[in-house]
Amino acid sequence: MIWIFYCSFRTQESIFTGKIIPALEGFTFNNYIKILSVTDFPRYFVNSIKISSLVTIISLIISIFGAYGLSRYDIKGKKIIILGIFSTQMFPQVLILIPLFLVIFSLNLMDSILGIVLTQLILVLPFCLWMLKGYFDTIPIDLDNAAEIDGSNLIQQLIYVILPIAEPGIMVVAFYSFVVSWSDYLIVSVISQSQNTATLTLIISRLSSSLLIRWGQVCAVATLTIVPTLILFAFVQKRLIKGLTAGALKE
């Protein structure tokens, strides 16, 4: 990551000299200027934000209610359901790409934000459900019973009692959903057909597929793509660590 950031400020000739510290004229800001002014980077950036945010919000809503139900209620065949949900993670994306394409095509959602969001949800939901189900299992059910005695309904129990306690686990799920959607290339490359739905991962691919690869510009785009996830991680780092280590120690 440091080398990518460093090369984003170097000229094409400077990168191929093999010198770690080139002459002063080997440094430039033109890589960022061209990326921001010549390409459609701002549009791709906005598309990535929209898609990743929608995937994160929808996956949180579905996984919270789904995981809470699997954790608190004796559902017939619950173990089989959980195994079935998590077993979908064992299949590589390439194997399910054609079925996903056919489903999205039949729904007339090709080249749409909604189509990309739906397909990416298939990638993130199994882990989110599994993660939150395990986290809800560590929360004593006595809290639910106490809230019910106080007159709270199911939604109030979940919002005011369970979710504040489960905040670290929820932050892990939200961060995971955002990062997976933000860095996804395979799904977007198939569903997206125009610049209206293209994301940052596509512009990196397009810069790298030309006959003459402008490595300085590629590094500039990679740097601008990495920065949002680093900023997000900086804000949620403590909660992520707490969420990932939950259940490691028991009294």
Q: How far apart are CA 130 and CA 66, in angstroms?
A: 10
Residue 238 in this model has a pLDDT that exceeds 80:
no
**Would you call 185 helix, strand, or coil by DSSP?**
coil
Q: How far apart are CA 204 and CA 222, in angstroms?
A: 7
Q: Best-predicted range by mean pLDDT among 48-57, 152-161, 190-199?
A: 48-57
Residue 196 in this model has a pLDDT that exceeds 80:
yes
Q: What is the DSSP string of 94-162?
A: HHHHHHHHHHHHHTT-TTSHHHHHHHHHHHHHHHHHHHHHHHHHTS-THHHHHHHHTT--HHHHIIIII
Whether the Cβ atoms of residue 115 and residue 46 lie closer than 8 Å to each other: no
- pLDDT tens digits along 91-105: 788 888 888 899 999
Residue 184 in this model has a pLDDT that exceeds 70:
yes
By percentage, how much of the chain surpasses pLDDT 90?
24
∠ Cα 178 237 229 (to 5°): 35
CA distances from 87 to 127, 143, 200 (A): 10, 31, 30
Q: Which residue from 198, 194, 201 is spatially nearest to 225, judged by alpha carbons? A: 201
pLDDT the model gives residue 177: 93
Residue 143 in this model has a pLDDT that exceeds 60:
yes
By percentage, how much of the chain surpasses pLDDT 70?
94
pLDDT the model gives residue 250: 44
pTM, whole model, 2 decimals?
Answer: 0.84
- pLDDT tens digits along 202-222: 888 777 766 677 888 889 988
Q: How far apart are CA 89 and CA 226, in angstroms?
A: 25
Taking residues 69-81, what's their average pLDDT? 85
Q: How far apart are CA 46 and CA 197, in angstroms?
A: 10
Q: How confident is the model at residue 193 (pLDDT cuts 50, 70, 90)?
A: confident
Residue 11 in this model has a pLDDT that exceeds 80:
yes
Structural domains of the chain, ranges and CATH numbers in brackets: 1-40+200-227 (no CATH), 43-197 (1.10.3720.10)
pLDDT the model gives residue 181: 93
